[in-house]
Structure 1
Amino acid sequence: MFKSTNFTNAELVNLSKEIAVVGVEYTPLTSLLLSKGAEKATSTIYTWRERSLVHDEDISAVEGEDTTKFTESGRRELNNVLEIFKKGVSVSGTAIAMQSNQFASEVNDRLLELKINLEKKLINGIKNDGSTAPFKRQMAGLIAFADSNAVSVKGKVTEDHVKQVMRNLWNQDLAEGQYYALVNADIKEQIDAIYKDRYSYQHKTTNFGLVVDSIETNYGTVNIVLSKHVPADKMVVFNDAYINLVYLREPAFEPLAKTGDSVKGQVIAEATLKVASPKAVAVVTVV
């Protein structure tokens, strides 16, 4: 059987840099996580200890005393499943003869499609270990990880709801980080309506190149990011210090065996989402 390992290493093209810059506006969450750098997995299940801080004890000490008490916070063991993302590329010999860069263009389009699909799963994925038919491993997304910060809204999102979700996160005693709210068009319009008669400004984030709206509250500043992959009835808020992308296999192009009058290959990656603590994720649901 002819395998990709029959090719030289030079023919296996790593696309980890390319995926970071392609389709940023289509994939704001993935682009943000890639800008921070991805972690490395070593198996199909990625496991970590929940990241938590303890603030409920008096640690004042007497000068010169021996240390006899040691603190170890009880932390849950969390995990997520590595999911395989793959898009095939096939271009006929005639098409390549007519336009020599056609195959490269097709690979770029497939890479963008892979990134968009990854974005959807990072937000909406439902965990499946692949032990039953059709045996596809699937990751849990941000919404599935959300813990105890849920806010239910009847009708429309108001300023009080924005404050409430930020206060819920603030109450969790999280480490410092940037707060982002991923919203679809409907909820973004509702938020815009709240502040339409007030002074506002926009700032351009430098970490992943998107223009976002910022709302300042007593409990921190939340950056509102428009994403078409968030369900229309939800706003997903998270602390980016607790969210990471994990690769088992970084995005790469692999050539496939030539079996006829066409050139074939595939764009493939194996990735999952790490949420260091579900307490760092909140979901606002409009009912």
Structure 2
Amino acid sequence: MAFTGKATYGAGSDLPELVEDVSDVIGIVSPFETPLLNHLGDPKRAAQSTVHEWVEDQLLANADAINQTTFTPGPTTATSITVDNGSRFQVGDLVQPDGSGEVIFVAAISGDTLSVIRGYGATTAVALADNMVLNILGNAALEGDDAPAARFTSRTRKQNFTQIFTAAVEVSGSMQASRAYGVEDEVDYQKQERMRELLRDLENCVINGVAPTTNQIGSSSVRRSMDGIIPMIETNDFAPGQGGLPSGGGTNSDELTEELLNAALRLVWDQSGGSIDTIVVGGAQKRKINEFASASRQYLPEDTAYRDMISVYESDFGVCRIVLSRWTPPDTLLLLDSSRLEVMPLQGRSFHFKPLAASGDAFKGQVIGEYTLEMKNENAHAKLQGLAV
């Protein structure tokens, strides 16, 4: 028998007799996390100007390369060698061709030409070649000799620019006074939403941002922006199968492999005193890193959870925390020394809410902050691009 009594649906399809049931929790689906900023932490100091500068220095080079194609009388017996930078050598230097056991003694220097003694100390002479690297082992000074001529390096200034991040907040008086689902204070809610968006944008610019090519300090018509990590890395700009790196995996030899990652770490270690401790990747390359250990995983019969994630990668060249950031380009992997990175606000300009004068029946203000990236010694970091996605 059909029900004929009072029911919830009796008054109409819009249920006019019932209190609306709306959850007090507002679901936000848009991504707003900032894993790289969280990993780097708060800066030790603030920037003092819209042009932020820092000073870098380096030790005297202890390697150079041969710059000649013919050798007299031959590659294994030549005693006159032309190099790229003769100023890097001193009389008395012990030099070793890269990858060999021969030691060469520098007897005299004229410009970029070295007069040498081959096979010093009964070592076996090897065939020299153009662009072969010569490693300077050290200098053998004469007992009682005068001090050698002073040599030194010149410090250099590096710079980046601050970038203003801002978003407006405006709520009508009626909206602020009304009761809303899941929100106690509409102005505060809008502040939080805009803050999340600006933090998201800050991390994105820290990774991908680019400063203008002209008028970088900004003007009334030129917006000032900062360089991010990717454009600031110039020395160690790697790609699979190029610049001394092995080819990657896959059909096109461009997939990330452990061999490729280790080779990139080694190249950074070879030419800088940096210590890579952070690997920043997007989702595609994070899955490739997770696959490094897939073949060697073992499970017991009582195991009920399957774990397929690598959060820390330890190699001969350092222990690296893997940071998954959705703002990293999908074909890119960043190798960073976090001790040389700081995301800093302009003094007194960290993110804050600034109330604005009311005009009409509304609450107005803006969330604003001004930040820059300090990346010391760009050759202590690396980027590996062109990876298969």
TM tier, smaller: 0.7 to 0.9
2:252 paired with 1:245: no
Give the secondary-structure state (helix, strand or coil) at the position aligned to 2:266: helix
Provide runs of 4+ in structure 1 moved above 6 Å: 67-71
2:263 paired with 1:256: no
Query: What does residue 183 of structure 1 align with?
Result: 281
- State whether residues 57 and 154 of structure 2, in contact with CA within 8 Å, keep that contact through their aligned partners in structure 1: no
Structure 1 segments unaligned to the other structure (5+ residues) = 1-22, 62-66, 201-210
Q: Distance in 2 between matches of 1:70 and 1:274?
A: 32
Q: 1:285 to 1:262 in 2, by over 3 A?
A: same
More strand by share: 1
2:171 paired with 1:164: no
Q: Deviations over 1:103-140 (max 9, x none)?
A: 11111111111110000100001112155784100100
Query: What does residue 270 of structure 1 align with?
Result: 370
Give the secondary-structure state (helix, strand or coil) at the position aligned to 2:354: strand
Q: Deviations over 1:71-118 (max 9, x none)?
A: 753333110011100011111212211244221111111111111000
- State whether residues 257 and 264 of structure 1, in contact with CA within 8 Å, keep that contact through their aligned partners in structure 2: yes
Question: Could you tell me how far 1:55 is from its partner in structure 2?
Answer: 7.6
Structure 2 segments unaligned to the other structure (5+ residues) = 1-29, 63-135, 142-146, 241-252, 299-308
2:226 paired with 1:135: no
Q: Distance in 2 between matches of 1:51 and 1:218?
A: 26
Q: Deviations over 1:150-169 (max 9, x none)?
A: 22124210011110121122
Amino acid at match of 1:31: N
- State whether residues 213 and 224 of structure 1, in contact with CA within 8 Å, keep that contact through their aligned partners in structure 2: yes
Higher RCO (Cα < 8 Å, 6 or more apart): 1
Match of 2:188 among 98, 101, 104: 104
Question: Could you tell me how far 1:31 is from its partner in structure 2?
Answer: 2.0
Query: What does residue 4 of structure 1 align with?
Result: none
- State whether residues 32 and 199 of structure 2, in contact with CA within 8 Å, keep that contact through their aligned partners in structure 1: no
Amino acid at match of 2:34: T
Structure with bigger gyration radius: 2
What TM-score do you get using the length of structure 1 for normalisation? Answer: 0.77
Query: What does residue 36 of structure 2 align with?
Result: 29
Question: Could you tell me how far 1:265 is from its partner in structure 2?
Answer: 0.9
Question: Could you tell me how far 1:25 is from its partner in structure 2?
Answer: 7.6
Q: Distance in 2 between matches of 1:36 and 1:212?
A: 25
Q: Distance in 2 between matches of 1:186 and 1:92?
A: 44
- State whether residues 57 and 153 of structure 2, in contact with CA within 8 Å, keep that contact through their aligned partners in structure 1: no
More helix by share: 1
Amino acid at match of 2:156: R
What TM-score do you get using the length of structure 2 for normalisation? Answer: 0.58
Give the secondary-structure state (helix, strand or coil) at the position aligned to 1:164: helix
For these two proteins, the number of residue pairs brought into alignment is 251
Query: What does residue 379 of structure 2 align with?
Result: 279
Amino acid at match of 2:233: A
Give the secondary-structure state (helix, strand or coil) at the position aligned to 1:40: coil
Q: Distance in 2 between matches of 1:168 and 1:24?
A: 35
2:134 paired with 1:50: no
Query: What does residue 203 of structure 1 align with?
Result: none
Q: 1:41 to 1:89 in 2, by over 3 A?
A: same
Query: What does residue 144 of structure 1 align with?
Result: 231
Q: Distance in 2 between matches of 1:260 and 1:167?
A: 63
Q: Distance in 2 between matches of 1:36 and 1:172?
A: 29
Q: 1:163 to 1:78 in 2, by over 3 A?
A: same
1:193-208 superposed matches below 5 A: 193-199=291-297
